[in-house]
Each structure stands twice: as structure tokens, then as C-alpha cells.
Amino acid sequence: MAILAVSFGAANISSGDVLCVLWNVIGGDTEVSDIKQRIILELRFPRLILAFLTGAGLSLAGAVLQTVTRNPLADPYLFGIASGASFGAVLVIASITGAGISGFAISQMSITTGAFIGAAFSVFIVLSLAGRGIQIERMLLAGVAVSFMFSAGTSLVLYASDPEAAASLLFWTLGSFTRANWDTLLVPSLVITSCLILFLGYARSLKAVLAGDETAKTLGVNVTRLRMAMLLLGSLITATLVANTGGIGFVGLMIPHIVRRLMPSQQQYFFLGCTFFGGVFMVWVDVLARSLVANNELPIGVITAAIGSVFFLLVLRKRSWIDS
């Protein structure tokens, strides 16, 4: 799948060329032009890995949000976490670069920090508005309101920025893997791997929370502390990815539902399934973004929003049948 995905793009590169380049990397000797080797190794493979990490991370964040809130509509995008992270990241970029975004690579850690602060602040607002206990409808409405609020703040920052920088930042806020390179893959890899290990370690406690707060408390689970820790970890994943790829929505909503359908009796592998299927899904969304329009690239967030909005309506319709 990875070899096939790397072969798609504006430049005409076959799967055979990809295999030859990989063979050369491990010590083989095949004739492939230098330009093709550079495109494959320096552009497309880092982009492939970043796309996989993005899909895996957003799916994990969505799965954890749906678990700790017992809300099947929970998602970093709908809860305002992604919007808060985008606002924090854009605010940092606009502050440290002034007339452009030339300091993007140098200030990557600052951007991630700003995104995390924005995401954590959005979680705090949503929990404050949700009231005592977990009120699903109220929390969802609070998340939508917070999402609009931070989106308005992001638009204001873009409006006040330099026109050239604003154009680049606007494309970045819609989601893109164009800045993927080997140097920027380390932090997302460490964050997502560490969070996955923690989620797997707390899998039994999270499963107890699904049965209800009272049931979880009788089993010795500190529900409040666990919920806050998981929400902050989900915010950390979202902020790290937003700082590298921009705003990409609805992935955390769709993939957990799909995994539950595909693996209904394999709950112990739920987080691993979300990681794998989310990564594969995002890789092929990136292929669509590079292939749908000739000699042009669509923003990733536009494609995921188009697919996710339909999926969101289907989930809402199913819930209305169940409630009735």
C-alpha cells in the first residue's frame, strides 16, 4: 500500500521505480534518475509517514474522547480542540514571523506549544460549560460553540496578517502535508507512540468508564482524574498534529465507528485498530488530494470535511432511530 501510494503524484513515478529506490537504500544497485530518487526519498516518503501519523493520531484522540465522554459524536474537531490548537498555532506563527512564515521550521516547538495551550484551553471551556457529570448534548453544543469562537479568532489573526503570509497560513489551516520532511517527523512519532502506550495501559479503566461513572468508581477508578488525563493527552496529540499539518477534521469521528463495525468482538484491540485504519485512511486521502486535480493539490481538510460531514449526519440519523 505504501509503495503504491508513493507512486501517485504530479511527477510520473511507477511502483517499480519506488522499489528500485528502496533497493538502493538498503545497498542495492539499480539505475534510477537522481530526480526520481530525491522526489521519492525527500518528498513522498516523509509525506506518506506524516499522513499515516496524522490519521493514526487523530483517530486515537477521537477514540479516547468518545470513550471518556461516552459520546459517539465526540471528535477533536467537533469539541473545539482542533480549532483551539489552530488558533494557538496561528497566533504563535503570526507573532514570531512578522512578515511571513520563514521561521516555521526553526520555531516548530513554539508552534506546538502554542497549539497545545489553545487545545487545552478549549477542553477547559467545554468541560466548564458541560456542567456536573457528563451531559452529552450539552457538551457537544459547547464544543461546537467553542469551535466557532476559536475559528473566528483564527480568521481575525489571518485578516490582520501580511497578505502573502495570510495566504500561506490560510492554506495551512485547511490541512496540508506539503511541509513534511524527515526532521519534522520525530516529535509526532514520539507523541503518538507514547500516548498509544498510555491508552493501552489504561484500557481496562477506560472500558470501566464506558459502563458508567458509578460502576467505574466501584471498581476503583478515579473517574475525574482519568477523564482529565485522557482529555489532555488527546489535546496533546491534536496540538502536535495541528502544528505540523494544520486543521484536519472528522477523522477522529469516523475511524472509531468504522473500527467498531469491523472488530465488534475485539475490544482489546480497539486502539490499535484505530491507529492502523486511521493511518491508512489518511494516506489515501492524501493520494486523493494530490490526484483529483491535475497539477494542483487540494487541502486535506476539505476532503475529510466533505466525507466526515456525510458520516456525521448518518451517525445522527442512527442515534435518532435508537432514541425513538
Q: What is the pLDDT of residue 322?
A: 41
Q: What is the number of H-type helices and E-type strands within the chain? A: 15, 0
Please, which pLDDT band fits residue 263 given cuts at 50, 70 and 90? confident
Q: What is the pLDDT of residue 133?
A: 58
Q: Which range, of 52-61, 134-143, 252-261, 303-312, averages the lowest pLDDT?
A: 134-143
pLDDT greater than 60 at residue 283: yes
Q: Are 307 and 254 in contact (CB under 8 A)?
A: yes
Q: What is the pLDDT of residue 244?
A: 87
Q: What is the pLDDT of residue 319?
A: 60
Better-scored residue on pLDDT, 94 or 303: 303
Spatial separation of the C-alpha atoms in residues 24 and 17, rounded to whole Å: 11
Q: Average pLDDT for residues 174-194, to the nearest whole number? A: 90
Q: Are 119 and 84 in contact (CB under 8 A)?
A: yes
Angle formed at CA 136 by CA 133 and CA 140, multiple of 5 degrees: 120
Q: What is the pLDDT of residue 281?
A: 95
Q: pTM of this prediction?
A: 0.88
Q: What is the pLDDT of residue 30?
A: 78
Shortest CA distance to 76 belongs to which of 144, 169, 134? 144
pLDDT greater than 50 at residue 311: yes
Computed over every residue of the chain, the mean pLDDT equals 84
Q: What is the CA radius of gyration of the chain?
A: 20
- Give per-residue pLDDT as tens, 216-249: 999 899 988 898 899 889 999 998 998 889 888 8
Q: What is the pLDDT of residue 52?
A: 96
Better-scored residue on pLDDT, 137 or 250: 250
249's grid cell: 477534521
- Give per-residue pLDDT as tens, 149-182: 998 998 888 888 777 667 767 766 788 898 888 9
Q: What is the pLDDT of residue 195?
A: 95
Q: Which range, of 94-98, 296-300, 308-312, averages the lowest pLDDT?
A: 94-98
Q: What is the pLDDT of residue 100?
A: 47
The DSSP annotation for 208-257 comes to HHHT-HHHHHHTT--HHHHHHHHHHHHHHHHHHHHHHH----SHHHHHHH
CB count in 10 Å sphere of residue 302: 14
pLDDT greater than 80 at residue 295: no
First to last CA, the chain: 42
48's grid cell: 506518506
Q: Are 185 and 49 in contact (CB under 8 A)?
A: yes
pLDDT greater than 90 at residue 56: yes
Q: Where are the beta strands (DSSP E) in 54-93?
A: none
- Give per-residue pLDDT as tens, 93-126: 877 765 444 444 446 778 888 888 998 899 888 8
Highest mean pLDDT among 38-52, 174-188, 208-222: 38-52
Q: Average pLDDT for residues 127-131, to the nearest whole number? A: 77
> Torsion over CA of 164, 155, 96 and 146, rounded to 10 degrees?
-160
